[in-house]
Structure 1
Amino acid sequence: MILKSVEGKETWKSAYKHFSESHELGSDGIGLFAVDQKFGIDDVRSAAAESITGGGDDKKLDIIYVDLSRSLLVVAQCFESPVKKSSAPANKASDLNTAVAWLLSADLESVPDGIRSRVQEVRDALDAGSIRDFHLWYVHNAPESKNAASEVSNAEKTASRLLSKRGTVQVLGAQVGAETLERWYLGSRRAIKVNDQFELRVSDAIEASTDRWSAVTTLVSGTWLYNLFAEHKEDLFSANVRDYLGSRRSDANINNGIKETAKSEPSDFAVYNNGVTALVLDYKLGPRSKTGRRLNITGISVVNGAQTTGSVGSLEAKPPVELLVPIRFVKSSDEQLIDQIVRFNNLQNKVQAADFRSGDEIQNRLRSEFAAMPGVTYEGGRRGGSSDAIKRSRTSLASYTVGQVLTAFHGDPVAAYDKKAEIWVDDTMYSRVFSERTTASHILFTYSLYDAITTRVIDLRSKSRNPNESLTDAEEDELDFLSLKGANYLLVEVVARSLESILGKTIPNRFGLRFKSDPGLAKAAGYWNIVIDTILPLKDQLRGAFNKGRVTREGKEDAFIAFEGLFRALLNFQPDAFVDFAKRVKVESL
């Protein structure tokens, strides 16, 4: 963890090259790289399969990235020149106007099949009030220009006008060229992204220090915290394991309670609230005087109290002057100590305990088992930052995706698609897929199936965008089906339910399924191709499991019964189709 800005030898360009090659992305990968640098992506390949659109008929919607957990939407038009240019073409930026119109106002039936379900998902999220920030980007690898910025601004105005009746959505247009990408890349490598200097006046403060750290504890104005959050938003939590979670109007929701207290009992807020702990690059505490003490802060990242900060910062109006917030500013140059500060400050807060499944016995055991496997690594509940995502390759299994894949494989593709975070937070959902029965070998077995499906999507989209190639009718059909929201997780369950027929044996418990000799991710994914090649032509039997372009529980069982009948008939004609695959699979008794 680095507290000071370090101008490393690796620029954003070399980082992007590694990022793109490691995850096997095409030209629009630069848009996904930008999203990762700004917001951080847990699983790059899954995001690529979902967010990078396919084909020349994408209506200029190169990237549609949705993160409902952060109420976030990113729509990007991408341009990557193979040669150095003085600026990116402004007409590509103007394409954002076309993209916005198709995304927000075009008749849904006229939207091309390849992007229709994603457009439907965005509109549903907007109608439900689930999107607060709509980022509209022109991402390119050239120097930024005023002409391009002007075109982005026009598209921003168009989006704002079209969204004027859809609630309080903030549209944020941006030209994300070489300068911005470099700044974001360097920022992603720091624990503290907000490097501004702040001068505060506090009534008094207590300072303490050792040879490893120094800290000052005081009360700060709620208005200062409100303004700080308004300006810097999620960058304030760059060293934290969780951003502000938002506030639903529920008695059980702690954030809504914080906001109500701030409004109704501001003078008592300081004794009701546990306060905030923040890492800083430096601080200087002035002497006592009749008007209090001057406190100068350089750089800040909230490591505990993200919910307090976000709740105060998102009040409808500035808090009253009586509102004071307890805060502790900590500075240290000891990286190991900083890691511990971040960890222990969060462990003490029950609301954040779910982020630390990484410390439970099951995840510890699974990481140990994976450590002995060649060609694959597993995070085991740990969530790194953007720089970690750059270093991470295809052979690294992202924790959230593992939870989703296990959930789909063991019978619930709808929850796998819709409840990505809840799988790790909810004790019942978590224990259903992570227990003593769960082994690293079984995770590799299931995840490699998902990876093979993801590769199919990425390859088809890449081919559809290549001017020198064209998809066959069958491939267009496949891409259309795989573009349906949750289709990948539905296929995982369909394969899981078909494995007794495929293997020709009874499976007492699916958790006992694994490949012999733990072949590594790339080889294991290759084993599944024969299964996917056989099942995908029967995809039309599964369309009944979808409604408005997304997988649902209604109709899923009927769809599977229709599929199963055809699949068994196919096996009768090709009884030896899966002989080689079956030889690679072991069913262990539990």
Structure 2
Amino acid sequence: NTILGILKLRELTEFVSKNRDYVFESNIRQWMQFKTTVNKGLRETLQSNPGKFFYYNNGITIVVSDFEELGDNIIELYAPQIVNGAQTSNSILDHSKRTKNMDGSMTVTIIKADDEAEQNNITKYRNSQNSVRGKDLVSLMDFHKSIKSQLKNCGYFYEIQAGSFDTKSKSKQSEYQGDSIYNEYLPDNHKKVIVAKDAIQALVAGIEQRPTEAYSSPAQFLPRGSKYDDVFNDNLKDDYRILLYPYLVKEYAKKTLKYGKQGGHKTKRYATLFYVGVYFRILHKKILETKGDFKSDVRRMEPIFRSFKLNSRILKIADVVVTKFLEDTVVDDEIELANTKHNFFSQHVWNDSMLRVVDKKIRQEEEEILALK
């Protein structure tokens, strides 16, 4: 079921060029544009001494559904996936565009995997040249692959593999135009790329009502994180709206309401995820009147998010609530107790005493909220 061999760099370039659109789909991370020390080393070796590449590189691993040896050192691969070596392969491909000096070779391992579970295990355990962080391991999860497919139908690229959008051609990138209504929540220069880590963070803050944890330790909710299974378990339906809607709220807060680092507000710069939590608290408790888990109401959210005019009013009410909350003297005392605003939003802002203030400020806007129902 396995072949170990030596592949000329020129042959690898031809293989990747012809199959680039799908050959990396199972790779934990896509090419990272020479951002890491390993990638820089690959480039330097290719430029200065390609003949030594064989000795300095671990090679690549290709998983296939089947293979056939045709003779004369020719092997036909069925459904090939480069599961370890995206950096190596793309570095070589990039180098081939700059020079004709493609001397050198590298090792290649071809493995026949019996099923997807085995392929996922091979992918996970073979990736070690660069450290594999949680946000890269998202690509192994079927839930997120389903979300990616659904969001593609809406015109958005769900980036579950780090750097995967940037490896696409300009023409492929231009295919992602988003949705005319949902785009109104986004900045004008938005690439229509939704990074998995950012969407998960917004989901935890809004739907899960855990903004302090989303702010302080987002990695906990990524694959291999200590709290990943709290959210992404068998009870969670693979519905794109569960991730898209909190993400839209977060982006709208930064674009229109000036939350985040670019907003210029001395406190709201820390409060983006808190705002997302407050918005969904208003939406579910006061407008949808959700009983129990907010995730069960995802379908009922769609008419609201499809009506930008209506939802912009809810979003502005949430901003009023947050603004009044931050002006409250009880909150001032809690911020002082926390020592810094960062500590306040990462540990204090969603505790019982602060939630009582939040709910008080929401009640003060009840007349405006009732007018929307």
> How high is the TM-score relative to the length of structure 2?
0.55
Q: Answer yes or no: is the 8 Å Cα contact 1:378–1:398 preserved in 2.
A: yes
SS of equivalent to 2:218: coil
Q: Is the 8 A contact 1:452 1:529 kept in 2?
A: no
Query: Is residue 408 from structure 1 mapped to residue 202 from structure 2 by the alignment?
Result: no
How far the C-alpha of 1:403 sits from its partner, in A, is: 1.3
Q: Describe the shift of the 1:460–1:562 C-alpha distance in structure 2 as closer, same or farther (beyond 3 A).
A: closer
The residue that corresponds to 1:376 in the other structure is: 156
Task: Decide whether the 8 Å contact of 1:378 with 1:399 is kept in 2.
Answer: yes
Asked whether the 8 Å contact 2:148–2:158 carries over to 1, the reply is yes
- 1:330-345 mapped onto 2 (5 Å cutoff): 330=107
Paired residue type of 1:376: Y
Aligned 1:64-463 pairs, distance under 5 A: 193-194=43-44, 195-198=46-49, 210-211=73-74, 239-240=86-87, 281=92, 329-330=106-107, 347-349=125-127, 352=132, 354=134, 355-371=136-152, 373-379=153-159, 381-385=160-164, 387-388=166-167, 391=173, 393-409=190-206, 410-436=208-234, 437-438=236-237, 439-456=239-256
- Counterparts in 2 of 1:359 and 1:555: CA distance versus 1, 3 Å: closer
What is the alpha-carbon distance in structure 1 between the residues aligned to residue 53 and residue 41 of structure 2? Answer: 26
Larger Rg over CA atoms: 1
Evaluate the alpha carbon distance shift between residue 503 and residue 434 of structure 1 in structure 2; reply closer, same or farther with a 3 A threshold: same
In 1, distance between residues paired with 2:85 and 2:304? 33
- 1:519-577 CA-to-partner distances (Å, cap 9, x unmatched) read 898x5766542122112233241473754231132353222311211221221x33533
The Cα shift of 1:193 comes to: 4.2
* Mapped partners of 1:570, 1:563: distance in 2: 11
Q: 1:542·1:563 contact (CA, 8 Å) conserved in 2?
A: no
Kindly provide the amino acid, as one letter, of the partner of residue 411 in structure 1. Answer: Q
Partner residue, 1:578: 372
Could you tell me which amino acid in structure 1 is paired with residue 163 of structure 2?
G
Structure 1 position 531 matched with structure 2 position 314: yes
CA displacement at 1:511 relative to structure 2: 0.7
Q: Match for 2:295 among 511, 522, 529?
A: 511
Asked whether the 8 Å contact 2:203–2:242 carries over to 1, the reply is no
RMSD after superposition = 5.0
Name the CA distance, whole Å, in 2 between partners of 1:191 and 1:518. Answer: 48
Q: Secondary structure at the match of 1:514?
A: helix
In the alignment, the residues of structure 2 paired with residue 345 and residue 430 of structure 1 have an alpha-carbon distance, to the nearest angstrom, of 20
Query: Of 281, 303, 306, which residue of structure 2 is paired with 1:497?
Result: 281
- Say yes or no: does 1:566 pair with 2:350: no
User: Alpha carbons of 1:578 and 1:417: their partners in 2 closer, same or farther (altered >3 Å)?
Assistant: same
- For the structure 1 residues 457 and 370, does the alpha-carbon distance in structure 2 shift closer, same or farther, using more than 3 Å as the test? same
CA 440–508 in structure 1, closer or farther in 2 if over 3 Å, else same: same
Secondary structure in structure 2 of the residue aligned to 1:196: helix
Q: Given that residues 278 and 330 in structure 1 are in contact (C-alpha distance below 8 angstroms), is that contact kept between their aligned partners in structure 2?
A: no
CA 1:239–1:488 in structure 2 vs 1: closer, same or farther (change >3 Å)? same
- For residues 279 and 534 of structure 1, do their structure 2 counterparts lie closer, same or farther at Cα, with a shift above 3 Å needed? closer
| Shift in Å, 1:491 | 1.0
Superposed CA deviations along residues 326-379 of structure 1, whole A, max 9, x for unmatched, are xx93489xxxxxxxx9x95654358849533323332233334334x4343423
The residue type paired with residue 329 of structure 1 is M
- Give, in angstroms, the shift of residue 404 of structure 1: 0.6
Give the conservation status (yes or no) of the 8 Å contact 2:348–2:354.
no
The Cα shift of 1:417 comes to 2.1
Over the matched positions of the two proteins, sequence identity in percent amounts to 13
1:405 to partner: Cα distance: 0.9
CA gap of 1:281–1:532, structure 2 versus 1, over 3 A, is: closer
Distance in structure 2 (CA, Å) of the matches to 1:501 and 1:418: 25
* Alpha-carbon contact 2:290-2:297 (below 8 Å) kept: no
Q: 1:529 to 1:515 in 2, by over 3 A?
A: farther
SS state of the match for residue 508, structure 1? coil
The residue that corresponds to 2:347 in the other structure is 553
Q: Give deviations 1:471-491, integer Å, cap 9, x for gaps.
A: xxxxx7xx33321x3x11111
User: Larger % of helix: which?
Assistant: 2
Measured after TM superposition, the shift of residue 197 of structure 1 is 1.7
> Structure 1 residue aligned with 2:266, among 477, 480, 492?
480
Alpha-carbon separation, structure 2, partners of 1:429 and 1:553: 16
| Count of aligned pairs | 268
Q: Is the 8 A contact 1:404 1:416 kept in 2?
A: yes
SS across alignment from 2:290: coil
- So what's the TM-score if we normalise by structure 1? 0.37
Residue 510 of structure 1: how far off its partner (Å): 0.7
Are the aligned partners of 1:457 and 1:482 in contact in 2 as well (CA < 8 Å)? no
Shift of residue 39, structure 1, vs aligned partner: 4.7
Question: Which sections of structure 2, spanning at least 5 residues, go unmatched?
Answer: 1-9, 14-31, 60-71, 77-83, 94-100, 110-118, 177-189
